Structure formats: C-alpha cells, structure tokens
C-alpha cells in the first residue's frame, strides 16, 4: 500500500455525496472500530453515510464512540458508493448483503486472504494485522483530522486484532500507529478493560462447562470442546459469551490446534479454530465453507453438533498429521 491506495481511496470519494459502510456479522473491535472510524472521516468530508451490520454491537463494544450509528437496515434508498471493511466476502455481511449489491460501486478495505474478490476498488493488505491499521494509514495519507473518537475507534481495531499486541501479526507499524493514536486521544486503557477484562457471569459459567468437557487427540496436540444448545440455556448464555474460549484451550502447552463447537441457536453449529505457528487452519475452515486467517478461522455447519464435530476434527487431525 501505499501511495496508490491512498490515491484510489481519495479519488473514489471524489464528488460522492452518500456512502454506505458495511462490516462482517458477529462484529469484533476491528469490524466496528474501522467501520465507525470511516463514518467519522466521511462526516469530516461532509459526506452522508450509514454503517450497516447484521448484528448490533456486542456488549463489550458498547463503549465504542458513536456505536449507536450501527444499523441493521439502511437509511438511504440509494448511495453513490458502498464500502465494506474488515471482510472479504459479501456473504459475511449476513442480512445486510443485498444493500451492497445494488449496482453502486463497491470499495473493499480488508486484511483477510482474498478469495472471492468482490468490488471495483480494492485496498487489500493481508500483512496488516487489522483493517483499522489499513484505514489509519489511509487517513494519515489523506490528512484526516484524528479526533479522540477516531483515534479510539482505530486503536480498538488494532488492539483487538493483535490481541493487545501479543499475536504474531503484531508489526512495528502496529505499535507505532498505536502510539500515534494514543497521542491523538485514543483511550487504550478503556479499550483494554472493556474488550478483554470484563465479562458477565454467564460467560464465566459457560467457560467452566467448556473447559470441563475439553477433549483431546493426537497426543494432546488437538483440543476441542462442544457446547450444545442445552448448555447455553443452562448458563443463560449467548454466543457472545464464548469469545476467547478457544484461546483458553490453545494456551495449554501441548496444544497446537484448538477448536470449539457451539450451538447457541438450535440447528446452527458455529466453529472457531485457532492454531499455533505455521499450522494453517483457514485452509481447513474453507473446506467447510468458512475461512479466516492462518491462525484464526471459523466456519458454520447446518445439522447436528455431533456431525460437525466428527467432520472438522478429522480434518484438523489431518492438518496436524501433515505438518
């Protein structure tokens, strides 16, 4: 990225009066942080804009500045430009996908592995740890005004996707951009507390269930757990509450791949997969219609949780065998 991306970004906004911004379903701090930061920047340019997401903000992101901009239905009947950020496939827009397939030009700002390649203007950098970092670069290059709100939103994206600068995707640039955002009023302490250090009792209870039922194979290098719908009901928990569970298993020293299978709603099984080092679990997730990054991926199964478990575990074992 570099100069040409900023030029493409700038010229795509030239003469535009209305923009629709979209991000992925089950949004995280990078999805909402970057979508909302972009919305603030468009405000600075006097461009009408709206932020669409399949879901409303999860509890731990309610603190994000102007989070109430996130909508499930559009305001504008038509827009001059649509922008999707922090996602690669139209599918992951969920129920808001049709609003990005209206014939308006589509810009994609993203850091996932490209596969479907939607959009006419594509600003993609798979080496960037967060979409928010790509956007922060762009905003610097177009001389945006870094308000405390924009800085906090972008910082939330970078902090979330680097796991507070602990993951291997953390680059020198991520740290220097974070420093820049702190200088411009980004509230790191608030982000850390809200995103990582606060959860409801239902989540702690459900984590107990998940860890208690942890299964292992391949001499402990594969760990997984199954959280059926009944466990969600018992703990009075929702899918949001499972955030971070898969990491708890991966952080066991023998474990190289960890997965959770969960059925927050009957009939739909969500899987989160995490791996260490060079083990590519995105490739495994893609076999089941999912995707993600090398070390963090996911997919969804229709049908029973037992069938999802046996299919995915078999593929994860193959992945370990061939490593």
Site for Mn ion in 51-90 (CB under 5 A): 86
**Are the beta carbons of 80 and 55 closer than 8 angstroms?**
no
- Interacting residue with Mn ion among 5, 50, 88, 161 (CB under 5 A): 161
- Which x/- pattern over 243-282 shows residues binding ligand 5GP (rule: CB under 6 A)? -----------------------------x----------
Using the rule CB under 6 A, is 298 a contact of ligand 5GP? Answer: yes
With contact defined as beta carbons under 8 Å apart, do 178 and 160 qualify?
no
Residue 298 interacts with, from ligand 5GP, Mn ion, none (CB under 5-8 Å by kind): ligand 5GP
Q: What x-and-dash track marks residues 8-27 binding ligand 5GP by CB under 6 A?
A: ------------------x-
Using alpha carbons, select from 210, 285, 299 the residue that is nearest to residue 247.
210
Nearest distance, CB of residue 13 and ligand 5GP, angstroms: 26
List the structure tokens of 246.
């898969």
Q: Is 292 in the site for ligand 5GP (CB under 6 A)?
A: yes
Partner whose footprint covers residue 195, from ligand 5GP, Mn ion, none (CB < 5 to 8 Å by kind): none
Phi-psi sector, 218: left (phi>0), alpha (psi -120 to 50), beta: left
Tell which positions 231-290 bind Mn ion, by CB under 5 A: none
110 binding Mn ion? (CB under 5 A): no
Backbone angles phi, psi at 184, to 5 degrees: -100, 25
Task: For residue 189, give both structure tokens.
Answer: 């302490």
Tokens of 44: 């600075």
What span, in angstroms and rounded, lies between the C-alpha atoms of 177 and 39?
A: 20
Backbone angles phi, psi at 81, to 5 degrees: -150, 140
Residue 291 CB, nearest approach to ligand 5GP (Å) = 3
Residues that bind ligand 5GP (CB under 6 A): 26, 89, 92, 112, 272, 290-293, 296-300
């Amino acid at each position: 990225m570099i100069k040409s991306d900023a030029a493409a970004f700038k010229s795509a906004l030239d003469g535009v009066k209305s923009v629709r911004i979209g991000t992925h379903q089950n949004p995280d701090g990078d999805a909402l942080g970057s979508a909302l930061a972009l919305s603030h920047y468009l405000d600075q340019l006097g461009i009408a804009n709206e932020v669409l997401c399949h879901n409303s903000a999860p509890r731990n992101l309610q603190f994000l500045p102007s989070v109430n901009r996130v909508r499930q239905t559009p305001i504008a009947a038509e827009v001059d430009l649509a922008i999707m950020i922090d996602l690669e496939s139209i599918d992951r827009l969920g129920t808001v996908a049709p609003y990005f397939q209206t014939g308006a030009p589509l810009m994609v700002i993203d850091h996932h592995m490209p596969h479907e390649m939607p959009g006419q203007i594509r600003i993609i950098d798979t080496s960037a740890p967060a979409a928010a970092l790509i956007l922060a670069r762009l905003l610097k290059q177009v001389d945006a005004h870094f308000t405390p709100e924009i800085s906090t939103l972008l910082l939330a994206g970078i902090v979330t996707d680097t796991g507070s600068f602990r993951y291997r995707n953390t680059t020198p640039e991520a740290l220097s951009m974070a420093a820049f955002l702190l200088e411009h009023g980004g509230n790191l302490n608030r982000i850390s507390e809200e995103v990582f250090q606060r959860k409801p009792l239902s989540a702690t209870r459900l984590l107990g269930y998940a860890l208690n039922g942890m299964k292992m194979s391949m001499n402990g290098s594969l760990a997984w757990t199954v959280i059926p719908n009944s466990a969600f009901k018992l703990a009075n928990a929702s899918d949001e509450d499972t955030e971070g569970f898969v990491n708890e298993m991966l952080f066991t020293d023998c474990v190289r791949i960890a997965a959770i299978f969960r059925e927050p709603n009957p009939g739909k099984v969500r899987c989160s997969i995490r791996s260490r080092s060079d083990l590519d679990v995105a490739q495994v997730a893609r076999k089941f219609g999912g995707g993600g990054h090398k070390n963090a991926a996911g997919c969804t199964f229709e049908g029973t949780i037992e069938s999802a478990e046996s299919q995915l575990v078999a593929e994860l074992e193959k992945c370990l065998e061939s490593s």
